[in-house]
Structure 1
């Protein structure tokens, strides 16, 4: 009943707060529902309006098939695996393991922009866990443009290798590209397996200075020194100035920094 009552609210705003659901029920029925019941009602309303998790995942391959038909220049790569019940293969059931896609307007746009690519990953928090890997570039106005996407089980060496391989195959097809990322070991491993596709002269690995600064803060709990790290990425002269200031405050800081390749 609650799900039916809040359906118009959820349809207008799927990110509706659970507290707002509680307020709506209180307003209509003079009854204070529990947080869990309100949360469950919201999930039910979302499923009724937009479909459930199972239906959404079942539609995923069909959605990509239609996208590829309408836009043959789009890039789509799907990996699936058989489903097992014990040692037996379940017939007519497949498990989505990885999917990579990029829309052709994004592929075409990248050809005319500065050859700098930034990659990163984020966790998925829905019913089915996993990670989404994304590559972005900046246009001439400094706007961030996401242009390739991958859904994987998690950030592993194989997942990053899958992503970077298809990124290089379909989108980043020229030499001299700067690849900005954090210093994740799985990215380093995937690059090492790329047969030179993400190494000079094809590409140059660049560490994101804000990730470095965040890792520095996690190690030393010294937020007042973070700015010195961030300001190091301008010129060689500026690097030397900031490095000297950092060393004056403690050699442990610069010893930590020396583990990162200077280039």
Structure 2
């Protein structure tokens, strides 16, 4: 399966046909850097560990680093440009990590929520089993019912707002209706 990854740049978009990172690729935010790396590792069935978790640097190594794999990546905030840029990259994975059987550590409910957001917008009452099927078709992993349920709840909150905030504004609406 060939991954086509859209990477938002400071001045537009660039498509990385193979999903591989390259030194000099720019991202609009730290969140986009992490999302791109996370998507790549999920699609390739590999995992990474984050080092140097600082506000202006993101540095990650393959879980197999030093044991047959030299993959590492570092992205930093470039203040002059206001962008994040990949500053160091050692290339493709050379490890022989087998595909993770059922679930991937980086395939969390937040990632799933972002992926299913269009489905929630189209049908907020979508079944959790349909969410699991969507994740399986998109990422080739089977997630637990609980993780899919949490992702659905997060996606609903992102699309329609949080329940607690809605309840807090209810008295204002009731007062407006009575007037």
TM-score by length of 2: 0.37
Per residue, is there more helix in 1 or in 2?
1
Bigger RCO of structures 1 and 2 (CA < 8 A, at least 6 apart): 2
